[in-house]
């Protein structure tokens, strides 16, 4: 054994792990320190680190650590945590509401009074998590000569995390290098700055030798960000014609024991996109970010929106049933129309107004409905027999993409005449290298297979914002396009000078720049590179090297939108929900790589099925995680994931980036809870208000439906 | 998720194994397929001082169908049972049950004897053995003895095996002609431990009524459970929706399943009732097909 480190061994002035976005000062009291000091606030909070030669020896040693725990009362439910008598999770704070705000417009009370129908419900979205199949892992080492600390295993936001690590270590950023690796799944959880992201480098520095860590599944389920747990008290008001008058929601986001790097992101995204594709004369959303004695929570694919879409779309189906209207019809009566774009929703994210850029919701609903063949599916429902009931459900939603304002790219010609793209984006397995190479090929005019893409090494790429919130293509890709276009202009100028032909008469073809109509007149890119090496370039007073960099900045997000249709068969005796058919229509403005877009949607939908039917991080009354292994935490397998029929449309490109593209990462996951709950409701003539739809809950619903 | 230190033996014969058990039985665990034991070790929920690995004891891996009796060596893998055409033909219930055990990878490693000796009431094979009136042959350096299912399975994860005893064989009578069987269960995902289940055998007489029935319940109690009262009630009656419902109600009348995060005791009781009914109806319909 090499070291045992507890909180008292860490520097006394070590700050807590900071938030990186959506924050305000009120959250600072709730931040997590890398190791617990005096109070442990959730089962799984790190209290000590053991460094040994093998994991076997480290676990043997960890068993010998005696921690003197004095049990404290726990509070686990977010609504209960706000009661005056609830124990305080952080004893020195005013209470368990770590933050929040209210978004409001119109006269909600007036609309409720004049409404023909007011539907009021409490809805629960269950706690589940991203659970990438590859758990987290790091290797940290300090180079003896340069003194540079290198950390392998970064993901998602290497540059941002370099800044956080440098700050916690009190080292200059230049002495800290983070290197992104290929990942076996990210989904929002992997790559945020966790206690281990400080502790492993700290141990490597202290021991003066490399330290490796990889999390096992038991640790992962307790340590890595959870997500999705929200309780909503919602009121939907409509007039007699089914026109929406008001949506009023007061909700509690259970963020667990600490505020982690995301600050208010998850509940803020719930509020920002709660309006969906509809008009609301009056709207009020009260956001409560609540701490409890559970594992801290953060983002998971479609953060806040999986929840918001479930709440809004479930309420709409409830209203349709009470009004005796077809739920499709009710939605169509309330859409924001394509002619109204750009459309300010009235909500905001991090102080910035949410203004939908483009969208034709009516058209996508019609297209997807046809693709799903709703009429045939409804006939199929009527043919159900015995204990197996059938139903269909839908959900319509607006997603968002491209958060994080800016990104960086550099495109350069290499000594062999190949092209290298350096990007501030990151790969979480979504195929970003492929997409960036495609964008570069288009912008530069070279063949796709001559392009290589590098990212994620802070020693190679000066800065960047990484991969989250469906941003890598829209922001990272736009930066690549701008730098590729700049480099193309420069290459043509240089070739023009060399060949004495106007740049307008030149084009890039393969590894050469050729004269239009006279391809024998040409210069190889490798030769241009040689002409641009410092010795030759400086002779001619030309800037050396063939490299252009660009930043792309966009204040506004882009807003892809989608429609989910589900057909389910429900066994009322076992409670089993089988997904018989699933169709997703998604408009991404422009699909740079349609196959990758489809892959994103299929994978996201499978994860959504997990959250809707299977996955739940259940705690016992003492605050112990009862679903602490894959025996009890049920990810969908190939047998449970439905065949997803995907319709990708490009009807409404965005004007907010030069690609016209909106991000495609989250539209699969975003509305599965909503669509499946509505389908089960339809099958059972009952009203689910809680996800996931576990067998026991479904059996109970079936009995309510029969009664 | 790494086990604490342990001693390790890998005997090559049953005799060596029982000798090791005689010496170390109290602190040793038999390692066969490892599909239950290894996770328990890795979670440090089981901490045996010694593992006796019987994977090299080839003499325990056999399947013999003779004299209307199926004899299964304890080291037969689930997949061996699953792929045996003899088993599928002679004891279709066992074939149906073993296919519900975990996933292919688990069935390739897991052993029939291991499943029996682990005695998880939510496991398929112990329930099938209970329904099929299996006999468990156990051996120690002191000698051999046989036990019926109701004696062998004592309670949750506990058998009648003494610390020095090794389960060597499970044998069962081939069901008579005009018998149909069914094994039904409900698991939240394909391959998970079931929340409830039922095995049923129905033998029809010439009039098409029930000559004999056997019903065993999965995850209904700390051990696999025979529903003797329901079996008796069916004798002489046609197995139809009505009698199957009555039998199912009788079968679960006194059970107290253990609830957990996947389903409460009440849910499981109702589930098992529905599954008993389904198993009986399927078994009866299969019995008719083979008459």
Closest-approach residue (CA) in chain B for A55: B2
A77, part of any domain: no
A123, part of any domain: no
Residues of A in contact with B189 (CB under 8 A): 614, 634, 636-637, 639-640
Check: CB of residue A570 under 8 Å from CB of residue A577.
Answer: yes
Q: A585 with A536, same domain?
A: no
- CA dist., res. A483 & res. B224, Å (int): 69
**Residues B178-215 pLDDT 10s:** 999 999 999 999 999 999 999 999 999 999 999 999 99
Interchain pair B267, A614: CB under 8 A: no
Question: Chunked in runs of 10, what are the mean pLDDT values of chain A (707 residues)?
Answer: 96 96 86 96 97 97 95 96 97 95 98 98 98 97 97 97 98 98 95 98 98 97 98 98 98 98 97 98 98 98 98 98 97 98 95 96 98 98 96 98 93 97 96 97 95 97 94 96 98 95 94 93 96 93 95 96 98 98 98 97 98 98 96 96 97 97 97 98 98 98 93
- CA dist., res. B31 & res. B50, Å (int): 10
A50, part of any domain: no
Q: A396 with A464, same domain?
A: no
Tally of CB atoms within 10 A around B240: 11
Check: CB of residue A238 under 8 Å from CB of residue A116.
Answer: yes
- CA dist., res. A48 & res. A8, Å (int): 10
Could you give the dihedral angle defined by the CA atoms of residues A7, A10, A16 and A18, in that order, rounded to the nearest 10 degrees?
A: -130
**Is the minimum CB–CB distance between A694 and chain B shorter than 8 Å?**
yes
Instruction: State pTM to two decimals.
Output: 0.97
Q: A489 with A587, same domain?
A: no
Strands B179-186 and B196-204: antiparallel
- CA dist., res. B117 & res. A91, Å (int): 50
A19, part of any domain: no
Q: How many domains does chain A have?
A: 2
Residue A690: what are its φ and ψ, rounded to 5°?
-140, 135
**Residues B1-17 pLDDT 10s:** 899 999 999 999 999 99
Q: How far is A700 from chain B (nearest CA, A)?
A: 9
**Residues A311-351 pLDDT 10s:** 999 999 999 999 999 999 999 999 999 999 999 999 999 88
A98, part of any domain: no
Residues of A in contact with B2 (CB under 8 A): 55-56, 59
Q: A439 with A538, same domain?
A: yes
A346, part of any domain: no
Number of C-alpha atoms within 13 angstroms, CB side, residue A42? 29
Q: How far is B186 from chain A (nearest CA, A)?
A: 7
Q: A417 with A511, same domain?
A: yes
In this structure, whether the domain defined by B7-53 belongs to CATH 3.30.43.10 is answered with yes
Residues of A in contact with B43 (CB under 8 A): 218, 629
Check: CB of residue A401 under 8 Å from CB of residue A471.
Answer: yes
Domain boundary among A489, A523, A553: A553
pLDDT of residue B290: 74
ipTM above 0.90, yes or no: yes
Residue B52: what are its φ and ψ, rounded to 5°?
-110, 105
A436, part of any domain: yes
CA distance readout (Å), B16 to A475, A515, B56: 68, 85, 11
Chain-centroid distance of CA A535 in Å reads: 47
Q: A488 with A602, same domain?
A: no
Q: How far is A574 from chain B (nearest CA, A)?
A: 6
Give residues 627 to 646 of A whose Cβ lies within 8 Å of B.
627, 629, 631-632, 634, 636-637, 639-640
Closest-approach residue (CA) in chain B for A698: B267
Interchain pair B186, A629: CB under 8 A: no
A689, part of any domain: yes
Helix B265-289 and helix B241-251, axial crossing angle in degrees, nearest 10: 140
Q: A430 with A385, same domain?
A: no
Q: A511 with A611, same domain?
A: no
- CA dist., res. A282 & res. A247, Å (int): 7
Q: A627 with A660, same domain?
A: yes
pLDDT of residue B291: 55
Residue of A60, A618, A695 with shortest CB distance to B4? A60
Chain-centroid distance of CA A373 in Å reads: 30
Q: Which CATH architecture has domain B58-173?
A: 2-Layer Sandwich (3.30)
Residues of B in contact with A387 (CB under 8 A): 274
CATH entry, B179-289, from 3.40.50.300, 1.10.10.10, 3.30.565.10, 3.30.390.50: 3.30.390.50
Q: What residues does A420 pair with on adjacent strands?
A: A412, A452
Residue of A218, A575, A639 with shortest CB distance to B189? A639
Residues 6+ apart with CB under 8 A from A236: A118, A119, A120, A244, A246, A247, A248, A315, A316, A318, A319
Domain boundary among A522, A553, A584: A553
Q: A390 with A428, same domain?
A: no
Q: Which residues of B52-78 are buried (b: 16+ CB within 10 A; e: fewer)?
A: bbbbebeebbeeebeeeebbbbbbbbb
Q: How far is A129 from chain B (nearest CA, A)?
A: 17
Interchain pair B261, A634: CB under 8 A: no
Q: A532 with A618, same domain?
A: no
Residue of A59, A576, A626 with shortest CB distance to B261? A626
| Domain ranges in chain B with CATH number 3.30.43.10 | 7-53
**Which residues form the domain of A452?**
406-553
- CA dist., res. A543 & res. A154, Å (int): 34
Residues of A in contact with B270 (CB under 8 A): 573, 699
Domain boundary among A518, A553, A588: A553
For A561, counting Cβ atoms within 10 Å of its Cβ (0-12 exposed, 13-18 middle, 19+ buried), the class is: buried
CATH number at residue A432: 3.30.365.10
Q: A396 with A414, same domain?
A: no
Detail the DSSP E strand segments found in A450-575.
Answer: 451-455, 506-509, 512-515, 518-524, 547-553, 561-571
| Domain ranges in chain B with CATH number 3.30.390.50 | 179-289
**Is the minimum CB–CB distance between A102 and chain B shorter than 8 Å?**
no
Residues belonging to chain B with any Cβ–Cβ distance to chain A shorter than 8 Å: 1-5, 39, 43-44, 186, 188-193, 195, 261-264, 267, 270-271, 274-275
Interchain pair A573, B2: CB under 8 A: no
């Amino acid at each position: 054994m090499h070291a045992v480190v507890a909180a008292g061994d860490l520097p006394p002035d070590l700050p807590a792990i900071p938030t990186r976005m959506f924050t305000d000062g009120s959250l600072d009291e709730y931040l997590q320190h890398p190791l617990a000091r005096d109070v442990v606030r959730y089962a799984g909070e790190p209290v000590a680190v053991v460094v040994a030669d093998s994991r076997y020896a480290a676990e043997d040693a960890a068993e010998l650590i005696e921690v003197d725990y004095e049990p404290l009362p726990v509070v686990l439910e977010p609504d209960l945590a706000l009661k005056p008598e609830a124990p305080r999770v952080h004893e020195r704070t005013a209470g368990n509401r770590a933050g929040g705000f209210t978004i409001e417009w119109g006269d909600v009370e007036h609309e409720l009074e004049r409404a023909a129908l007011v539907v009021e419900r409490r809805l629960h979205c269950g706690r589940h998590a991203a659970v990438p199949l590859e758990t987290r892992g790091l290797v940290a080492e300090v180079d003896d000569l340069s003194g540079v600390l290198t950390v392998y295993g970064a993901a998602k936001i290497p540059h941002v995390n370099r800044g956080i690590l440098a700050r916690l270590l009190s080292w200059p950023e230049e002495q800290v290098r983070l290197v992104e690796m290929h990942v076996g799944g990210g989904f929002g959880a992997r790559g945020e700055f966790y206690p281990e992201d400080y502790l492993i480098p700290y141990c490597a520095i202290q021991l003066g030798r490399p330290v490796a860590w990889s999390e096992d599944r038991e640790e992962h389920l307790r340590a890595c960000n959870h997500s999705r747990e929200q309780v909503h008290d919602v009121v939907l008001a409509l007039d007699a014609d089914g026109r929406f008058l008001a949506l009023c929601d007061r909700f509690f986001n259970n963020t667990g024991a600490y505020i982690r790097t995301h600050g208010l992101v998850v509940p803020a995204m719930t509020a920002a996109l709660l309006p969906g594709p509809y008009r609301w004369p009056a709207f009020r959303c009260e956001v409560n970010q609540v701490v409890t004695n559970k594992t801290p929570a953060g983002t998971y694919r479609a953060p806040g929106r999986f929840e918001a879409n479930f709440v809004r779309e479930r309420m709409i189906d409830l209203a349709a049933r009470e009004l005796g209207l077809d739920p499709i019809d009710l939605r169509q009566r309330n859409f924001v129309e394509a002619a109204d774009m750009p459309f300010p929703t009235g909500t905001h994210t991090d102080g910035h107004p949410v203004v939908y850029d483009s969208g034709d919701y009516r058209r996508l609903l019609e297209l997807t409905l046809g693709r799903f063949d709703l009429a045939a599916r409804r006939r199929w429902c009527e043919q159900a027999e015995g204990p197996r009931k059938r139903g269909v459900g839908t959900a319509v939603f607006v997603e968002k993409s491209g958060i994080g304002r800016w990104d960086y790219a550099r495109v350069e010609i290499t000594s062999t005449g190949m092209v290298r793209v350096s990007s501030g984006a990151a790969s979480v397995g979504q195929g970003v290298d492929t997409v960036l190479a495609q964008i570069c090929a288009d912008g530069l005019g070279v063949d796709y297979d001559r392009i290589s893409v590098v990212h994620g090494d802070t020693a190679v790429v000066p800065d960047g914002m990484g991969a989250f919130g469906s941003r890598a293509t829209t922001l990272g890709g736009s930066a690549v396009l701008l730098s590729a276009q700049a480099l193309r202009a420069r290459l043509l100028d240089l070739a023009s000078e060399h060949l004495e032909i106007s740049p307008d008469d030149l084009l890039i073809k393969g590894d050469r720049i050729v004269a239009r109509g006279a391809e024998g007149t040409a210069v190889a890119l490798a030769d241009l590179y040689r002409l641009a090496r410092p010795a030759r370039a400086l002779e001619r007073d030309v800037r050396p090297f063939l490299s252009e960099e660009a930043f792309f900045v966009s204040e506004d997000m882009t807003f892809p939108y989608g429609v989910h249709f589900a057909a389910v068969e429900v066994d009322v005796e076992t409670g089993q929900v089988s997904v018989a058919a699933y169709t997703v229509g998604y408009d991404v403005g422009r699909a740079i790589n349609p196959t990758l877009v489809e892959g994103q949607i299929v994978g996201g939908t499978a994860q959504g099925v997990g959250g809707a039917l299977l996955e739940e991080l259940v705690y016992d009354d003492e605050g112990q995680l009862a679903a602490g292994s894959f025996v009890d935490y049920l990810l969908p397998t190939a047998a449970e994931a439905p065949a997803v029929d995907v319709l990708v449309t490009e009807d409404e490109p965005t004007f907010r980036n030069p690609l016209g593209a909106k991000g495609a990462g989250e539209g699969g996951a975003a509305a599965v809870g909503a669509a499946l709950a509505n389908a089960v409701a339809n099958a059972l003539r009952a009203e689910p208000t809680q996800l996931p739809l576990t067998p026991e809950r479904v059996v109970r619903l079936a009995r309510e439906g029969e009664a | 998720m790494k086990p604490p230190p342990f001693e390790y033996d890998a005997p090559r014969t049953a005799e060596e194994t029982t000798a090791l058990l005689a010496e170390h039985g109290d602190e040793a665990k038999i390692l066969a397929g490892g599909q239950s034991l290894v996770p328990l070790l890795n979670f440090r929920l089981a901490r045996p001082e010694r593992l006796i690995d019987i994977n090299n004891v080839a003499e325990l891996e056999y399947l013999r169908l003779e004299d209307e009796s199926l004899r299964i060596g304890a080291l037969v893998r689930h997949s061996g049972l699953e792929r045996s055409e003899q088993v599928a033909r002679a004891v279709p219930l066992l074939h149906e049950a073993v296919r519900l055990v975990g996933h292919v990878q688990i069935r390739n490693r897991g052993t029939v004897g291991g499943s029996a000796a682990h005695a998880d009431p939510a496991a398929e094979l112990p329930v099938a053995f209970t329904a099929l009136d299996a006999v468990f042959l156990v051996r120690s350096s002191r000698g051999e003895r046989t036990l019926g299912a109701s004696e062998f399975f004592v309670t949750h994860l506990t058998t009648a095996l003494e610390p020095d005893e090794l389960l060597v064989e499970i044998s069962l009578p081939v069901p008579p002609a005009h018998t149909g069987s069914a094994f039904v269960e409900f698991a939240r995902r394909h391959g998970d431990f079931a929340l409830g289940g039922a095995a049923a055998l129905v033998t029809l007489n010439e009039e098409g009524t029930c000559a004999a029935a056997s019903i065993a319940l999965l995850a209904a109690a700390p051990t696999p459970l025979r529903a003797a009262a329901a079996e008796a009630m069916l004798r002489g009656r046609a197995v139809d929706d009505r009698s199957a419902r009555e039998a199912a109600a009788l079968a679960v009348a006194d059970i107290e399943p253990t609830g957990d995060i996947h389903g409460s005791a009440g849910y499981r009781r109702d589930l098992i009732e529905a599954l008993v009914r389904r198993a009986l109806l399927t078994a009866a319909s299969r019995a008719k097909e083979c008459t």
